[in-house]
Structure 1
Amino acid sequence: MFKSFDGFTDDYGRITAWPSDKRTQHQMAILDHLTGLFESGRIYSPGEVSTMLRDHADESLEATLLTELTEGDYLTSDERGYWRADSRPTGANTPTREE
């Protein structure tokens, strides 16, 4: 079970701070919350990801959150965009694996 991240949000529920590395459970709670905002199987453009992160977090955290989401394997990306790592995109926009 993840810890709450209420101490890292403002009155509107927007994330305003990134927890220290000693608070990994709080970090995971934030990343899990943000991942839940992305639809499974859908590709998001970099602009859509930026907008989503800015809607739910302080703009100063956008780069940190995107890095944490991708390096933590919550989101995956290629030249076409980003998608939830737990579900490959479907349909005509499905990225192909280059081997």
Structure 2
Amino acid sequence: MFKSFEGFTDDHGRITAWPSHRRSQHQMAILDYLTGLFEPGRIYTAAEVSTLLQDHADAALEATLLDELLDGDYLAQDERGLWRADSRPTGGSPAQGE
């Protein structure tokens, strides 16, 4: 079972800090939580991913969280966009104008 990441959030539940490597179970809990915010099979634009991350985490952590999601194989990407790595993307490319 993963540890909680409660100590790394503000009063509104937004992630405000990234745990150190010696607290990797807390990192995994954060990454699992964020992955759950993405719909399986849906391809997201970079802007949509940015908005989603900013809605749930401090903007200063956005790049770190995206890197960790990609490096940890929680998200995958190609020229079409980004998607949950545990589900096959459906459709060719993300909807324009969303």
**Normalization by structure 1: what TM-score?**
0.92
Correspondence for 1:58: 58
Q: Which residue identity is paired with 2:27?
A: Q
% same residue? 76
Residues 75-90 of structure 1: pairs in structure 2 closer than 5 A:
75-90=75-90
Correspondence for 2:3: 3
Correspondence for 2:32: 32
**Normalization by structure 2: what TM-score?**
0.93
Q: Secondary structure of 1:83's partner?
A: strand
Q: Secondary structure of 2:64's partner?
A: helix
Displacement after TM superposition at 1:93 (Å): 3.5
How far apart are the structure 2 equivalents of 1:92 and 1:23? 38
Moved more, 48-57 or 82-91: 82-91
Query: 5+ unaligned residues in a row in structure 2: which ranges?
Result: none
Query: 5+ unaligned residues in a row in structure 1: which ranges?
Result: 95-99
CA contact (8 A) 2:81 2:93 kept: no
How far apart are the structure 2 equivalents of 1:91 and 1:26? 34
Cα RMSD of the aligned pairs, angstroms, is 1.1
Q: How many positions carry a matched residue from both structures?
A: 94
Cα deviations by residue, 1:32-57 (Å, 9 ceiling, x for unpaired):
00000000000000000000000000
